[in-house]
Amino acid sequence: MLQHILVCLSRNPSHFRPSLADARLMLLFTPELCAPRDPLEVLLAALEAVDVVQIRPKSVASSAAGSAAETRDWCARVLDLVAAVRGRDVLVIVNDRVDVSLAMAARGCAGVHLGQDDCPVGVARDLLGPDALIGLSTHDAQQVARAWDLPLDYLGFGPVHATSTKGYERGLGPEAAWIASEGSPVPVFPIGGIDATNIGELARIGRAAVGSAILRADDPAQAARELRSALT
């Protein structure tokens, strides 16, 4: 019973924004990048140094319903894993799927991350309510400026470096990420091509979102620790 109470308290929505304000390292959790290892084992190893887990399965489903079901399944598994880890207040959000975030809110899902072409931020806020966290991807100064008027909690900005994940051949650079961070009223997580060789360039921002650098690492725990250390 006590453990159940502690888990419920750790998922209290009132803790979401204070936890986000202190967050440094966001893990873009794409289970397929962990192959051939068990994705949950990789995630468990990294959790000691991760503050936010953004669930981003690359669905093979041919329908929106199939994609939602896959995302919901992974969200449930990740939430159960995070709840079982004591001593860490890790936020769990889903990428794109406002419907999944809403369905999983009672289990502790903190919110949703949206792209420029996804559900409008205002609609997502109306659906999810005032407590949920909503993040938005931005790719230039104009998008960062427009985000001032939106009911957002954080921004992603990038790609900072070239990355094959979404086919970006050129990055915007760490200086652009710093300018975006300075010009935003909400936390900014630089994203794109960030790894142990270049994350030190983001130390003055103090935040980053990474995927492959942890999920494909031989030692995910050590990789996560090193990345977080470079930010702090």
List the CATH number of the domain containing 206: 3.20.20.70
- Residue found under tokens 């929505």: 13
- What SS3 class is residue 156? strand
Is 66 part of any domain? yes
pLDDT tens digit sequence for 163-187 = 766 656 789 999 999 999 999 999 9
Is 15 part of any domain? no
Is 166 part of any domain? yes
Q: Of 50, 63, 57, which is closest to residue 94 (Cα–Cα)?
A: 57
Q: Domain containing 40: what range?
A: 2-10+20-231
- Confidence check: pLDDT of 143 > 80: yes
CA distance 53 to 38: 16
Is 44 part of any domain? yes
Is 67 part of any domain? yes
Residue 97 CB coordination number (10 Å): 27
In contact, 18 and 195? CB cutoff 8 Å: no
Is 86 part of any domain? yes
CA distance 205 to 226: 16
pLDDT tens digit sequence for 96-123 = 999 999 999 999 999 999 999 999 999 9
- What SS3 class is residue 147? helix
Provide the number of structural domains found in the chain: 1
What percent of the chain lies above the pLDDT cut of 90? 83
pLDDT at 168: 64
Is 104 part of any domain? yes
What is this structure's pTM?
Answer: 0.92
The rounded mean pLDDT for the chain is 92
Is 193 part of any domain? yes
In eight-state DSSP terms, residue 94 is: E
